[in-house]
Amino acid sequence: MPEFFNVLPPDEARQLLLSKLSKTLPSESVASEEALGRITAVSIQSPQALPAFRRSTMDGFAVRAKDTFGASESLPAFLQVVGEVPMGQAANVSIDTGQAAIVHTGGMIPDSADAVVQIEHTQTVGGETAVPYEIEILKAVAVGQNVLQVGEDVAQTDEVLPAGHLIRPQDIGGLLALGITAVTVSQKPRVGILATGDEVIPPEQMTGPGQIRDINSYTVAGLVRQAGGIPVLGGIIQDDFNALQQAAAALLTQTDMLVMSAGSSVSVRDMTVEVIEGLGKPGVLLHGVATRPGKPTIVGVIDNKPVIGLPGNPVSAMVQFDMFGTPAIYQLQGINQMPQRGRAWARLTQNIASESGREDYVPARLEEGVDGLMATPVFGKSNLIYTLVNADGLIKVPLNKGGLYANDLVEVRLF
């Protein structure tokens, strides 16, 4: 029987894969409003200053700050209101010493003003509100107070998004605020997915004795979409070397990455290693990762295209694709920093056994307890998909620990 070879800790294994991906995919232009989750292919500079004019951050009165110095509720300053700046229009009102103009939040302030007194710190004299009328200033303001200056948010020609940036909702808002309605991004990687096994049938079919429905193609496809890729399902291939070799080669020519589920454990019936080796160079990088579940995962690269052989068990397949497939999808798009996973810290409700020298990932359910968030392990074999369905995330048992104990503070990687 063949042996595992080149077994590496997860971080080293992942870095080995990413180091072999030397090229990024071509770029394309998409509408900024549709760019969520895409990765910028080039640096983006601001075509203008933002704000483009001085704006008030408060409803109130544009003033000359020096006219308010020393003002207080017991000794107010008196100013004459000489006009108003309508929203969405230029500030054509000019104020002189001892004068003020009505302004609104987000509106332009006159060139002759250098501060804004918020309306709560004023009161009219005699209740009169027909221009011109007099107000009392009950609190002094400093030069620039309650005013956004030109370019305070972004200066003209500033880099607003670097190349390799994962576009978020706030980034879309920032682009559109500058009038940038299209952005150059990397193309989405097309990820081919093959299921293998004589016992595997499509989900819509009724199972017979010894048969199981294809789960991995669809869970992996979901993870591909989540990472910004396009899944291309290649169907189910029986345990026949020539059939699998032909299907893998054909699908690889149509896609940027190939994933095969099952056929990765050490067994005379498992052909994934041989298939990958026959696809091209450099071929298989490693067979075996120091983790549970998913130790027999295969990682390879063919002409800058990642090729991953996943275990057939659905929990193992999802954990290992998240460990290798997701980073590879981002790498192909030229990301400059991998996105941070959602994490929560919680108290463990019971012991988790493990072995030193191996990273374990244990599904866990999170619940609010008397003393904060509690994490309860959802134990089950790696071929039981509902151990993940009934969990909120995964508890990572570090490589150098022989287990975790009840009441330990643990990190839970959220789904």
Q: Using DSSP, state whether 212 is helix, strand or coil.
A: strand
Strands annotated E in 238-388:
257-261, 282-287, 291-292, 298-302, 305-310, 343-348, 352-353, 359-369, 372-377
When divided into structural domains, the chain yields a total of 4
191 and 77 within one domain:
no
- 215 and 297 inside one domain: yes
Q: State yes or no: pLDDT of 1 exceeds 70.
A: no
Let me know whether 354 and 310 are in one domain: no
Task: Please give the span between the terminal C-alpha atoms of the chain, in angstroms, as a whole number.
Answer: 36
Say yes or no: 44 and 171 in one domain: yes
Same domain, 168 and 236: no
In which residue are the tokens 């107000």 written?
135
The contacts of residue 133 (CB under 8 Å, 6+ apart) are 80, 81, 124, 125
The answer to whether residue 290 is domain-embedded is yes
Within a domain: 322: yes
180: containing domain: 28-50+157-186
Q: Are 162 and 147 in contact (CB under 8 A)?
A: no
pLDDT surpassing 90 at residue 125: yes
| 166 in the same domain as 32 | yes
pTM, entire model: 0.88
**Interatomic CA distance for residues 249 and 357, integer angstroms:** 36
Task: Locate all alpha helices (DSSP H) within 84-215, ordered by sequence.
Answer: 169-177
Measured CA to CA, the distance from residue 354 to residue 362 in angstroms comes to 10
352-409 per-position pLDDT tens digit: 998 888 899 999 999 998 889 999 999 987 678 889 999 999 999 988 888 999 999 9
Residues 263-322 have pLDDT tens digits of 555 553 468 999 999 999 999 999 999 999 988 999 999 999 999 999 989 999 999 999
Are residues 280 and 252 part of one domain?
yes
Q: Is residue 301 part of a domain?
A: yes
Is there a single domain that holds both residue 242 and residue 309? Answer: yes
Q: Residue 408's CB: how many other CB atoms inside 10 A?
A: 15
Residue where a domain terminates, one of 309, 332, 355: 332
**Which pLDDT does position 205 carry in this prediction?**
93
Looking at residue 401, which CATH number applies to its domain?
A: 2.40.340.10
Residue-wise pLDDT tens digits, 23-63: 899 999 999 999 999 999 999 999 999 999 999 999 999 99
- Residues making up the chain, counted from first to last: 415
The maximal CA–CA distance of the chain, rounded, in angstroms, is 98
27 vs 41: CA distance, rounded Å: 6
Task: Assess whether 127 and 163 both reside in one domain.
Answer: no
In a domain, 5, yes or no: no
Domain finish residue from 290, 305, 332: 332
pLDDT (0 to 100) of residue 132: 94
What kind and span of H or E run contains 118? strand 115-118
Q: Could you tell me the CA-to-CA distances from 283 to 45, 49, 327, 333 in Å, in that order?
A: 40, 50, 19, 21
